[in-house]
Amino acid sequence: MVRESESGFAIEPVYDADALAGWDPAVRLGEPGEFPYTRGVYPSMYTGRPWTIRQYAGFGTARESNERYHRLVEAGTTGLSVAFDLPTQMGYDSDDPIAHGEVGKVGVAIDSVEDMRLLFDGIPLDQVSTSMTINAPAALLLLLYQIVGEEQGAAAGALTGTIQNDILKEYIARGTYIYPPQPSLRLVTDVFRYCRAEIPKWNTISISGYHMAEAGATPAQEIAFTLANGIEYVRAAVATGQDVDDFAPRLAFFFVSRTTLLEEVAKFRAARRIWAQVMRDEFGAKNPKSQMLRFHTQTAGVQLTAQQPEVNLVRVTTQAIAAILGGTQSLHTNSYDEAIALPTEKAARLAVRTQQVLANETDLAATVDPFAGSYAVEAMTDEVEAAARELMTRVEDMGGAVAAIERGFQKNEIEQTAYRVAQEIESGSRVVVGVNKFVTPDDERYEPMRVDPAIEEEQAKRLTVLRADRSSSDVTRRLDTLRRAAEGPAAGDGDNVLYPMLEALRARATVGEVCNALREVWGVYTPVAAL
């Protein structure tokens, strides 16, 4: 029986030269570090420098997360990756009634510059690269980071890192949006302009397929909808008068890595090739860095199981190898206990050690693009690319990513795939070790990490002190200035909302207050059902 790939094409038992008939390696592959970057974005790849080892972490209060960050750095993490709790992601303060029960649960609670100051206490921001998984309020968190860096003596121009800042995938798969698509795009492009002028080394967006994959997208759907979103962001920025080569070099991407190793490698190669051609041929990008698809990878949390959690160590290692063979620029390996609760410190350290073993004890970093010329992988790369391009054409025919989102197209396509996979697992035709096959009746009891619910009260007290200690009239005045900027047109430096937002945060306005000011002007998004 012929097995199908996750994207739906047949995986042949044997691949040979016939699979690549009429295939010109010079055209399809090129050299590493050269257009179309199929073989990697840098000539030497890991032979010159290994990928950045990141560990996604954040929980409870800023002080608790800060302690975890220090221990991760001591364990060998070379880049920090911040998880924020749901109230912060949705632009609410910890004492807002809607935040009740969620403060500090899936990430760290950040309400003001004082929390950000605690979060990075003792961590020199001009020496560490920080990734922040935040979208609707991404601009706020970046500005808080800038303020804390300046307080440490670090110039804004020395700061390096990434904000996710990818609002379009929130409408498709994740749901932590605040404002409607058009003002949200304005906020994204304002970040592009602000960072070019003020924080030039910062990656202004991490266009994300990871969450679509977690929602059920196939590899082809993941890269198709992610790249379609990328095209929408580029068009929006160009429409504000920005030259593509002024902002495109700071665009980054974020993908998942599944256990289907060969198809994942093919997916990463296909994504680089498509993006390079789109940027050169559609947008006229001349800077090679504008054409490069640089990406971070996270191993697939959706494939981890609460049953027999130690088996997740094998899954995560396989997924990490796929990401490395696919040419990722940075990597987060999930902890084996994440299907149960927030990772314990031991599990998080072991996830870092997994990457260190792969970087130092294997030969994965010894040669550039080891799969180049593989009959199987090259054929799969072509098939993933073709499937992704077909989906991208369907999105374009609807008028682009935002128009397709408003029709519910991407969301519907992903949900259909997720339903099919759920049926396959239920029927047993898709094997999940420890869940529907190789089951152990009496799994050992696992004691998960728990967040103390008292932190919600602690954060509320901190906010009370903050509001009593600051100048209320100054905050009000700064927020009024922000509202006026948000009411104006998107184009032109004078209308960039990040400048009045920065001044409001300096005056110690809270995340919720700033987001509420923008809610008053822009409204909130209400999702639509698929047509």
Picking from 427, 447, 477, the residue at the C-terminal end of a domain is: 427
Per-residue pLDDT of the chain (531 residues; tens, 9 = 90+): 678 999 999 999 999 988 888 888 877 888 999 999 999 999 999 999 999 998 777 888 999 999 988 988 888 877 788 999 999 999 999 999 999 999 999 899 999 999 999 999 999 999 989 999 999 999 999 999 999 999 999 999 999 999 999 999 999 999 999 999 999 999 999 999 999 999 999 999 999 999 999 999 999 999 999 999 999 999 999 999 999 999 999 999 999 999 999 999 999 999 999 999 999 999 999 999 999 999 999 999 999 999 999 999 999 999 999 999 999 999 999 999 999 988 888 998 999 999 999 999 999 999 999 999 999 999 999 999 999 999 999 999 999 999 999 999 999 999 999 999 999 999 999 999 999 999 987 666 667 767 788 899 999 999 999 999 999 999 999 999 999 999 988 655 558 999 999 999 999 999 999 999 999 999 999 887 655
Answer whether residue 16 is part of any domain: no
- 227 is a domain residue: yes
Are 499 and 396 within one domain? no
In-domain check, residue 41: no
Digit-coded pLDDT (tens) for 399-446: 999 999 999 999 999 999 999 999 999 999 999 999 999 998 766 666
Q: Considering the domain boundaries, does residue 343 fall inside one? A: yes
529 inside domain? no
d(CA 165, CA 244): 18
pLDDT of residue 491: 58
Do the domain assignments include residue 367?
A: yes
Rounded Cα gap, residues 67 and 73, in angstroms: 10
Assess whether 409 and 461 both reside in one domain. no
Asked, for residue 437, whether it belongs to a domain, the answer is: no
Q: Which domain holds residue 500?
A: 455-522
pLDDT in tens, 248-278: 999 999 999 999 999 999 999 999 999 999 9
Q: Which helix (H) or strand (E) holds 130?
A: strand 129-133
Residue 505 sits in the same domain as residue 400:
no
SS3 label, residue 296: strand
Residues 246 and 384 in one domain: yes
Same domain, 491 and 364: no
pLDDT attached to residue 443: 62
Q: Are residues 241 and 303 in the same domain?
A: yes
Asked whether residue 347 falls in the same domain as residue 303, the answer is: yes
What backbone torsions phi and psi does residue 119 show, to the nearest 5 degrees? -60, -35
Report pLDDT for 493: 53
Q: In terms of pTM, does the model score above 0.75?
A: yes
pLDDT score at 74: 86
Q: Does some domain include residue 31?
A: no
Q: How many domains does the chain have?
A: 2
Q: What is the CATH number of the domain that holds 410?
A: 3.20.20.240
Choose the final residue of a domain: 427, 447, 471.
427
Report yes or no: 190 and 233 within 8 Å, Cβ to Cβ: no
- Alpha helix stretches (DSSP H) within 153-260: 168-169, 181-198, 210-215, 219-239, 244-247
Asked if 183 and 284 sit in the same domain, the reply is yes
Do 153 and 86 share a domain, yes or no?
Answer: yes
CA distances from 22 to 25, 28, 280 (A): 10, 11, 24
Per-residue pLDDT at 72: 82
Q: Which of 387, 410, 427 is the last residue of a domain?
A: 427
- The whole-number pLDDT of residue 343 equals 86
423 lies in the same domain as 480: no
> What does the pLDDT look like over 224-243, one tens digit per residue?
999 999 999 999 999 999 99
The whole-number pLDDT of residue 446 equals 67
433 three-class SS = strand
Burial-class residue 447 by CB neighbours within 10 Å (0-12, 13-18, 19+). Answer: exposed
Residue 142's nearest CA partner among 169, 113, 122 is 113
